[in-house]
Amino acid sequence: MAAWNPSHLPFTAALRDSIAVILWAFLGLETACANSSAVENPEKNVPIAVLGGTLLAGITYAISAAIIGGLVPYQELMVSHAPFGIAYSKMFGPVAGTVVSLLLVCSCYVSLTAWQFTISEVVRSSAVIGHFLSFLKKVNRFRAPYVAILLLLLIQSVLALSTMSPTLLKQFNVLINLAVVINLVPYVLSMTSIRSLLREEGITGNRAQTAYIAAFAGTIYSLYAIYGCGWTIISYGVLCTILGYVISVVKYRHPKVQLAHK
């Protein structure tokens, strides 16, 4: 019981403070959707990948958290920067803990690289259909969207420098909350457009009612998660959203864009 809420926060406060980290752990569930053009039979396989991947990740998170919580005293976990490394040190010695920590760092680099290519592919495909400037759709001989990758690297560097904090952990938390808020905005927009999506797919009856209920619950959850990130992060997210709307309005008011969409 002492390890369940070591900061002795009220239940609502503990839920509010932890929800952003939980959502951060599941960010990327839409990766299969972003790469659907490269998937065979996407209408069937993409939903399976998204739902199956989310379920598998949730089970893995829950089991690993329970195991680590049973092996390592919570006082150590509260100040640890590598809980998996500590857990393996408890089981097999300090050398094993160091090796596991090193492997986790390598896996983070691999995950980051894959995520960079996924985001840049989204930018490239958006440029192909006219949402971004045409130079962003350029690829090299390996079909890698190198221009989009370089632009994203520049933006990410600016964000990293603008959120500098006394410790890396504090800066990491700021970036987590900001990423969660920015990702939740399109989630909410998607769920509030559920009626149009169902009409487009011709879904009615009980299936439509189930989708409405799920969308309503997801919207409430997402709005609460945005609130839990704090007003400072929310203000950053609002600025990003406003910037997106401004770019959209300017783009669609351009004569060439209007002609292309006609």
Which DSSP symbol is given to 44? Answer: H
The Cα 58–Cα 56 span in angstroms is 5
Side-chain half-sphere exposure of 1, counting CA atoms within 13 A: 0
Q: What is the pLDDT of residue 125?
A: 85
Q: Where are the domains of the chain?
A: 1-79, 102-162, 165-262
What is the tens place of the pLDDT at every residue in 205-226? 999 999 999 999 999 999 998 9
In degrees, rounded to 5, the angle at the alpha carbon of residue 175 between the alpha carbons of residues 173 and 178 is: 110
**Contact by Cβ (8 Å): 121, 34:** yes
Report the mean per-residue pLDDT for the chain.
85
In degrees, rounded to 5, the angle at the alpha carbon of residue 29 between the alpha carbons of residues 24 and 35 is: 130
Query: Taking 60 as the threshold, does the pLDDT of residue 71 lie above it?
Result: yes
What is the tens place of the pLDDT at every residue in 135-158? 888 888 888 889 999 999 998 888
The Cα 120–Cα 129 span in angstroms is 15
Q: What is the pLDDT of residue 211?
A: 92
- Concatenate the DSSP letters of all residues of 69-128 into one string: HHHS-HHHHHT-S-HHHHHHHHHH-HHHHHHHHHHHHHHHHHHHHHHHHHHHHHHHHHHH
pTM confidence score = 0.73
